[in-house]
């Protein structure tokens, strides 16, 4: 069962990551650009997720359907994200290895080119 503290731990080794807020919820940013954030009360009230911690991460738009289909239910979406390269993750249900992979992909999508060049194999 992951928490936002685990999200921070999984990303703390990445260059120029900072803990911040986005839309008044905890977020991680790379050079002041959010690459993940927790859903707040307002977000959760639009979708029946109870008190589950839900994390928004970015993905390639053409990869989104694959992630949703192959997920064990820990990855989902909401109408607000239709047409956007973003998925939602139930932190309490996701495997840590998958979470780390999704966070890294989101980080690379939002990082400037000067940082992405530090990861030539990605």
pLDDT of residue 10 exceeding 80: yes
- The reported pTM is 0.93
CA-wise closest residue to 56 among 115, 116, 114, 4: 4
The Cα–Cα gap between 38 and 63 comes to 21
Domains of the chain plus CATH, in order, are 4-113 (3.90.1150.30)
Average pLDDT, the chain: 93
Is-contact 99 59, C-beta < 8 A? no
**68-88 pLDDT, tens digit each:** 999 988 999 998 899 999 999
pLDDT band at 45 (very low <50, low <70, confident <90, very high): low
């Amino acid at each position: 069962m992951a928490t936002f503290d685990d999200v921070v731990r999984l990303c703390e080794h990445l260059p120029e990551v900072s803990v911040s807020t986005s839309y008044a919820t905890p977020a991680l940013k790379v050079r002041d650009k959010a690459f993940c954030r927790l859903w707040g009360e307002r977000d959760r009230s639009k979708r029946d997720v109870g008190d589950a911690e839900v994390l928004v991460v970015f993905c390639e738009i053409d990869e989104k359907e694959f992630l949703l289909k192959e997920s064990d239910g820990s990855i989902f979406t909401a109408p607000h994200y239709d047409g956007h390269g973003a998925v939602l993750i139930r932190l309490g249900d996701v495997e840590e290895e998958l979470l780390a992979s999704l966070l890294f992909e989101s980080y690379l999508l939002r990082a400037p080119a000067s940082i992405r060049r530090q990861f030539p194999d990605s």
